[in-house]
Amino acid sequence: MSAQVPSIPSNGSVNGNVLLEAKGVTKRFGGLVAVNNVDFTITQGQIASVIGPNGAGKTTFFNMITGIYTPTEGTLTFNGSSIAGLKPNQITAAGIGRTFQNIRLFANMTALENVLVGMHTRLKAGLAPILLQTPAVVHEEVRARERALQLLDYVGLGRRIAPAAARNLSYGDQRRLEVARALATEPKLLLLDEPTAGMNPLETAGMTTFIRRLRDELGLTILLIEHDMLVVMGISDRVSVLDHGTKIAEGTPREVQSSPQVIEAYLGQGGAEEKLAQMKERSHARTA
Ligand SMILES: Nc1ncnc2c1ncn2[C@@H]1O[C@H](COP(=O)(O)OP(=O)(O)OP(=O)(O)O)[C@@H](O)[C@H]1O
Ligand SMILES: [Mg+2]
C-alpha cells in the first residue's frame, strides 16, 4: 500500500514509559466476578495481547479501560492520569481508541461518514460556527474529509469505498473501517477486540501485518484481544492470560506457551500437549 501515512501527533512520551497501568482492577456483575484483581501494564510502543477462554473477562477488561464500565475496585492510570470512572468520550479524548468484538459501525452511513464520526472528538469547531458554516468551519471540514480519505487508503480500503454504505462492505472490510474510525480519534493507545474474528486466513495474515505497521509507522501502542494463536504469537511483545477473570500468566509469547497453567486453562485438558506442539510449530514456522 503506497497510501500517505496520516500524521498522528506524538504524545511526547519516550519509548519504554508506562502508558497504561491497571492495579487491582475488579468488575463484579452481581455475584459474578468477571475481572478479578488484575494488575496490568503496557509501555509506550508495545504490542500486547490478552488471551483466555470464552468468558474469561477480556472484553470486560477493555470495557473498563474505555469507560463503558466503571471498575468495582482498582485503579486505571493512562499517561499519568486516572481514567477510572471517566465517560467513554472523555477516554477517547484522552487518547484511547478501540474497535469492538461485535462490529459497531453506523450501518446506514457511508464509510467516509463513519470515519468522520471518529474524527468528531478532534474537530475544534463548536456548534454555533458549524451551524453558521463560517469559513474556518468550512476549511476544517475540507481538511477532515481529506484526512478521512487518507485513513481509508491507509487501512487498505481505498478512498473509492468512501460513498459505500458500511453495511454493504464485507466483514473483513468492516473490521478495517472500524480501525479507520478508531485511528480518526488520534489515539495513543489502540485497543482491538478480536480484530481477526470472522476473517479468512488471508485476511487474518493481512490484518496481522497491518497491526504491526500501526505500531511501527504510527508509533501506536496496541493492546489486542485475540483467539488466533498464530496472530498472538506472531506479533505480541507480551501476552497476558485471563481465566475466570483472574490473570494466570504473563510474559513473552514463548514463556506463556510453556506455562502449564495456560495449557490447561486455555487449551483444555484433552490433547493439550498435542495442541501446544502444533502451536509452537506454527509460531516457529512464522518467525523462521
Ligand atoms: N454487562 C454484563 N452483565 C452481566 N454479566 C456480564 C456482562 N458483561 C459480561 N458479563 C459476564 O462476564 C464474564 C466475562 O465476559 P467477557 O465478555 O468479558 O468475556 P471474554 O473473555 O471477552 O469472552 P469471549 O472470548 O467470549 O469474548 C462472562 O461470564 C459474561 O457473561
Ligand atoms: Mg470478548
- State percent of the chain over pLDDT 90: 67
In the sheet that 73-78 helps form, which strands lie side by side, from edge to edge? 32-43, 18-29, 73-78, 81-82
pLDDT band of 278, cuts 50, 70, 90? low
Ligand 1 binding pocket includes 58 (Cβ within 6 Å): yes
**What span, in angstroms and rounded, lies between the C-alpha atoms of 151 and 171?**
18
Q: Quote the ligand 1 centre to 59 CA distance (angstroms).
A: 7
User: Which secondary structure element, helix H or strand E, spans residue 247, and what is its range?
Assistant: strand 246-251
Could you report the per-residue pLDDT of 69-104, keeping only the tens digit for each? 999 999 999 999 999 889 999 999 999 999 998 888
* Average pLDDT over every residue of 15-37: 94
- Determine the residue type at 154: Y
Could you report the per-residue pLDDT of 44-53, keeping only the tens digit for each? 999 999 999 9
Ligand 1 binding pocket includes 57 (Cβ within 6 Å): yes
Residue closest by Cα to atom 31 of ligand 1: 55
pLDDT at position 259 is 87
Ligand 1 binding pocket includes 60 (Cβ within 6 Å): yes
96-99/32-43 β-pairing:
unpaired
What's the grid cell of residue 206?
A: 493481512
Q: Quote the ligand 2 centre to 194 CA distance (angstroms).
A: 8
pTM for the model: 0.85
User: To 10 degrees, what angle do helices 135-154 and 171-184 make?
Assistant: 140
* Average pLDDT over every residue of 277-284: 52
| Residue 165 DSSP label | B
Ligand 1 atom nearest to CA at 35: 14
Ligand 1 binding pocket includes 175 (Cβ within 6 Å): no
pLDDT at position 9 is 42
Q: Quote the ligand 1 centre to 267 CA distance (angstroms).
A: 19
Residue count of the chain: 288
Residue pair 56/242 in contact by the 8 Å Cβ criterion: yes
What's the grid cell of residue 277?
A: 506442539
Residue pair 45/56 in contact by the 8 Å Cβ criterion: no
Residues lining ion ligand 2 (Cβ < 5 A) are 58-59, 101
| Residue 286 pLDDT > 60 | no
Residue closest by Cα to atom 9 of ligand 1: 60
Block residue for cell numbers 472528538: 121
Rg over CA atoms, the chain: 19
Q: Quote the ligand 2 centre to 51 CA distance (angstroms).
A: 10
pLDDT at position 239 is 96
Residue pair 50/224 in contact by the 8 Å Cβ criterion: yes
The residue with greater pLDDT, 15 or 140, is 140
pLDDT at position 17 is 93
**What span, in angstroms and rounded, lies between the C-alpha atoms of 264 and 99?**
29
